Amino acid sequence: MNKNTILTLDEIHNLAMQVLSTHGFSTAQADSIAKTVTAAERDGCRSHGLFRIPFYVDALKNPSANAQAEPILSVTDSSVVHVDALRGFCPLALRTGLPALSEKARLHGTAALAIHNTYNIAALWPEVESLAVQGLVAFAFTTANAYVAPAGGQSPLYGTNPMAFAFPRKDQPPLVFDQASSASARGEIQLHLREGKLLPDGWAIDREGNPTNDPQAALDGAQLPFGGYKGAALALMVELLAGALIGDNFSVESTEQDAYGVGAPLGGELLLAIDPAHFGSGNYLERSEYLFEQVLAQPGTRLPSQRRYDTRREHETHGVDIDNVLLAELREFLD
Amino acid sequence: MNKNTILTLDEIHNLAMQVLSTHGFSTAQADSIAKTVTAAERDGCRSHGLFRIPFYVDALKNPSANAQAEPILSVTDSSVVHVDALRGFCPLALRTGLPALSEKARLHGTAALAIHNTYNIAALWPEVESLAVQGLVAFAFTTANAYVAPAGGQSPLYGTNPMAFAFPRKDQPPLVFDQASSASARGEIQLHLREGKLLPDGWAIDREGNPTNDPQAALDGAQLPFGGYKGAALALMVELLAGALIGDNFSVESTEQDAYGVGAPLGGELLLAIDPAHFGSGNYLERSEYLFEQVLAQPGTRLPSQRRYDTRREHETHGVDIDNVLLAELREFLD
């Protein structure tokens, strides 16, 4: 018996739509989530692919989550655009706000989009990539669940708090990175637990604040930021930008409010976009290629997002191997 | 005989002014550099204090450096402001551009300042702090000399590429960090060499790309980014923002152009400023204090910049201990 089934990207999208629609998501919410999930499978990011669909459904156990929300866009003369997600999910809020963000960035040179009041369990690279495909430089920041200890501390306070960045490229998909400010993803620790493996040094501390290699002790304790105090400073920056500045939850508040333990944090996301046309460097695309060539001239290097784009080409042509256990689980969600 | 002499902040500023003026810096260039150097001594950042003055003087060995430059500010309807430093030093270019950046941020909500064509050997925290003192959230990015290998690579390509961030605080100096994307400052490796100490793991590789703890092999080889590939991604981001986007040198180009080996890189700096007033969260200052309290409630933690502000209070009251060897060296510069 095969362990996997090959699905086309359309089949992945349709399956996600079916499950979400069956569980009460509006067509717009379901479609935007399904597109995000499909993009993740396309690029080989399994943990944000179909695997994530049950988490979206579970999030509805929290009665405040709104699977029918129609996000509200607010645009003024300012270069700051707001979207109130009305406790719906982030992909539709982004779809609602990104065109206005692009427009403001082109008009003023720099612009920001604040997404408020959203359940966000997706990666950040799709939105920064989509902005850079349009020729903009983009940043995104979001809080998460409180799993990470501050530098020198003992207890979870910060989220894994990703920061994503994208820079346009000439005749190629953009340069993109999307990286947690924690040393590892939470899912990697859970995977070590399941496989009975010890954690690498530097990933986590136990409840007493001592370094641990035991995955269960790590899950009961706290994750560590990457790169020590410098990663912790980035985690704090993300809390300030996507929490305090835009008036949304800190990670620790999202976790406190998750009374149903479904793991979908309610909070905000901040995006910044920059239009290179306002900087007067006519050859910035050629200039960045020159730098990338120098990176790649060194053996053993690759550019951020390069592996994802390689997988994308492969999956667009040949479809994606989906685990049959996951498929069976998703089909149960259709009953 | 005393090893140190206590100088007031005014005395430090005056000494810096004297040396710089003697060596041909215009009053405006000298004053802006002296203020930056004095702020560093005030805050206990010795490596950017009077210690740095000989580097400014040495930079003039490069005939293209302009100690009399009067930076040119360009402001349009865009939220992007430009300053051409005309191959002068960064502190005066910042003084020229920061007021316009603040004004644009207040008007539009977000704004950028691109400093072009400048020799920059100062830290970035003074400029982001000054913006946050005015109530703005601020970022700064600059390239440097090419000392850092890309992730997986063997040879120097990126600068130590600092990124600085500041967030306003209520009735207190701002939350500020200014951190290199390298695992250590170059000066720390030089200090280990002088003191005959081995380097910690993870700081550097030798010429062959192998990990090394030997400071000389590290200086001949390449420094490593902090936190592995994540720090490398930040270093690359800084090259793209302060190099390609604004049309200035990459670190590797600054180093190639440093024919006189004086170590002052010619390049650009990008600043971003955000006005919280455009985000509609009336209580962001109270909200961030709430988060800071939670950080500090954990034993062993402190906030970024906290130690610097503690030193500042101490030095403003009691003056700064300056090494007599350094003072003698500076006085020789006056002959």
Taking one residue from A and the other from B, the number of pairs with CB-CB distance under 8 angstroms is 213
CA-CA distance, B197 to B193, in Å (whole number)? Answer: 6
- Which strand ranges, in their side-by-side order, compose the sheet holding B266-274? B72-74, B80-84, B110-119, B266-274, B137-142, B163-169, B172-179
Catalytic residue list contains A278: no
CA-CA distance, B15 to A225, in Å (whole number)? Answer: 42
Q: Which candidate from A79, A137, A300 shows the least CB-CB separation from B245?
A: A137
The domain over range A69-182+225-279 is classified in CATH as 3.40.50.300: no
Q: What is the pLDDT of residues B215-273, one digit of tens each?
A: 999 999 999 999 999 999 999 999 999 999 999 999 999 999 988 888 899 999 999 99
Mean pLDDT per 10-residue section of chain B, whose length is 335 residues = 92 98 98 98 95 95 95 97 98 98 98 97 97 98 97 96 97 97 92 93 96 97 97 98 98 92 92 96 95 97 97 98 96 90
CA-CA distance, A314 to B130, in Å (whole number)? Answer: 49
pLDDT of residue A299: 96
pLDDT of residue B172: 95
**Which of the 8 DSSP states describes residue A243?**
I
Residue at token pair 């610097």: B308
Single out the catalytic residue among B23, B74, B108, B188. B188
Element counts in chain B: helices (H) and strands (E): 12, 12
Q: Are A163 and A271 in contact (CB under 8 A)?
A: no
Residue at token pair 């060897």: B325
- Closest chain A residue by Cα to residue B287: A244
Q: What is the pLDDT of residues B176-216, one digit of tens each?
A: 999 999 999 888 898 899 899 999 999 999 999 999 999 99
- What token pair was written down for B104? 């644009």
The distance between the two most distant Cα atoms of chain A, rounded to a whole number of Å, is 60
pLDDT of residue A259: 82
Torsion of CA A252, A253, A256, A262, to 10 degrees: -90
Q: Are B249 and B265 in contact (CB under 8 A)?
A: yes
pLDDT of residue B1: 65
CA-CA distance, A288 to B273, in Å (whole number)? Answer: 24
pLDDT of residue A309: 98
Q: Are A238 and A181 in contact (CB under 8 A)?
A: yes
| Cβ partners under 8 Å of residue B290, min gap 6 | A250
CA-CA distance, B253 to B242, in Å (whole number)? Answer: 13
Single out the catalytic residue among B13, B48, B192, B315. B48
- ipTM for the predicted complex comes to 0.97
Q: Which candidate from B108, B237, B295 shows the least CB-CB separation from A108?
A: B108
pLDDT of residue B262: 84
Give the pTM: 0.97
**DSSP strand pairing (B72-74 vs B211-212):** unpaired
**DSSP strand pairing (B110-119 vs B80-84):** parallel
Single out the catalytic residue among A13, A48, A192, A315. A48
Q: Do A279 and B151 touch (CB under 8 A)?
A: no
**Which of the 8 DSSP states describes residue A169?**
E
Q: Which candidate from B114, B244, B300 shows the least CB-CB separation from A153?
A: B300
What is the least distance, in Å, from the CA of B290 to any CA of chain A?
A: 10
Q: Which residues of B touch A287 (CB under 8 A)?
A: 243-244, 247, 250
Low-confidence ranges of chain A (pLDDT < 50): none
pLDDT of residue A1: 65
